[in-house]
Amino acid sequence: MPKYYIYKMSIKRNIIKDLEKWKNNPHRKPLVLQGARQVGKSFILQLFGKDFFENYVYLNFDFEKEHKVEFERTKDPQRLISYISAVKGQKILPQKTLLIFDEIQECNEALNSMKYFYELAPEYAVVCAGSLLGVAMNRKGASFPVGKVDFLSLFPVSFSEFLAEYNPKIADFLQNFIYSFSKNDFQQIPEIIHSQLIEIYKIYLCMGGMPESINRFLENRNWQEVDKINNQILISYTLDFAKHIDSKDILRVHKLWENIQDNLAKEDRKFRYALIEKNARARDYENAIEWLSLTGLVHKVFGVQTPRLPVSSYKNSSTFKLYLSDTGLLRTKFKLDSLTVLKGDRLFTEFKGILTENYVLQALVRLFGKEQFYWTSGNTAEVDFLLQKSGEIIPIEVKSSLSTKARSLSLYRKNYNPKISIKFSLKNLEKQDDLLNLPLYLSDFLNVFLD
């Protein structure tokens, strides 16, 4: 079996399995890999090319701007392959070579050429990556090969991926436990393992899932270096604003990004424009919110008052919460010291609920898609998330401690009688009728418990 690495560390990324399925699909189309900046897209594609193909050829349209001219001149795949082979000095063979177009949002003509690779040269394996693809697809005058490409998304390293490297034995035990779990023979995770998993979860919650931060932590366990890297990543995001945003929106995106955590610090997490700028209105910041959402830097969760199918039809577009793409970056934006999180001092008690909700949301987005919802009943009750799956609406409550009292979830269950309800907390597995308590470290496996 090939080995998978993130930078110098041997963290296995689950997306490799999806990439392998794409490679072996006889009806595959050119692949578009989406994801926020610095989650590892470029590295994982080059690793995929190295391990699953005879060779790979890599073009970066941001770094190698000269390639744009040729894509503006022709869309003929054979002419493009001949050109790329010549300038790179490598053979490009059908089925045997992986052709990687990176930062493809910088060249709309290259993105549009995917249509012709699909129609005229489907025997070639072509993948595209871009941190700002969502933005590029929504640019005025941009064209996109609708229906001619496949899509995958890469997110920050998940807890389960981190666990597999940090403590492989416990990770193996957990995998075996989960996939042999029986609803008819309900068992808890042994307490000694449960306690260790909680401690590893706290480390992950504090560090987040940015590959470079994880790499540095696993090398030397130095939290100061983790904080430094996370700060550098946040700065690099702001540098993108000036490069890719219309001048009329740059200031508002900056204001939104710099103060986005202020809304999450409120008890109900609801987004309020006035916390970004006094007297601000929705129309002032809708472009800024859309831009950050398209880049994958934030996740928008819509409020729903009437939990009916399909949930998306009942969302309130003006009532929403904005979470970050990564808990480590959120902690850094809050300027919370790592020991504050790990030791759980008084300062952390104010923020642990926010980080924990953000953590669970990241798992929901990875497992079930980017569109997520929460239930609100005016000012009387609120359930953290509503999940639509297999024709059912599943309420999900998130608790950051051992306490599992959830008045809002109880009210929801009383009013709507869901077949199953989920509560995440630090407690061990527990089932009471239709209510399932899952320890937070099992969030990546929620789909298994719902099947």
pTM (2 decimals)?
Answer: 0.93
Is the pLDDT score of 53 beyond 60? yes
Question: What is the reported pLDDT for 207?
Answer: 94
Question: What is the reported pLDDT for 174?
Answer: 96
Q: What is the pLDDT of residues 143-185, one digit of tens each?
A: 677 789 999 999 999 999 999 999 999 999 999 999 887 666 7
Q: What is the pLDDT of residues 226-283, one digit of tens each?
A: 999 999 999 999 988 877 787 788 899 999 999 999 888 888 899 999 899 888 889 9
State the residue for tokens 């999806």.
Answer: 18
Q: What is the pLDDT of residues 4-44, one digit of tens each?
A: 344 444 688 999 999 999 999 999 999 999 999 999 999 99
Helix (H, G, I), strand (E, B) or coil at 50: helix
Question: What is the percent of the chain where pLDDT is above 70?
Answer: 92
Asked if omega into 168 is within 30° of 0 (cis), the reply is no
Neighbours of 405 (CB within 10 A): 10
Question: What is the reported pLDDT for 249?
Answer: 84
Nearest-5° angle of CA 13, CA 18, CA 23?
A: 120
Nearest-Å Rg of the Cα atoms of the chain is 23
Exposed e or buried b per residue across 187-215, where buried means at least 16 C-beta atoms within 10 angstroms of its C-beta:
eebeeebbeebbebbbbbbbbbbbbbbbb
Q: How far is CA 225 from CA 38, 206, 229, 429, in A?
A: 16, 13, 6, 35
Nearest residue to 417 via CA among 305, 316, 314, 307 = 307
Nearest residue to 271 via CA among 281, 440, 67, 431 = 281
Helix (H, G, I), strand (E, B) or coil at 97: strand
Nearest residue to 402 via CA among 380, 382, 427 = 427
Amino acid letter for position 377:
S
Q: Hey, what domains does the chain have and what are their CATH numbers?
A: 15-153 (3.40.50.300), 159-450 (no CATH)
Question: What is the reported pLDDT for 137?
Answer: 59
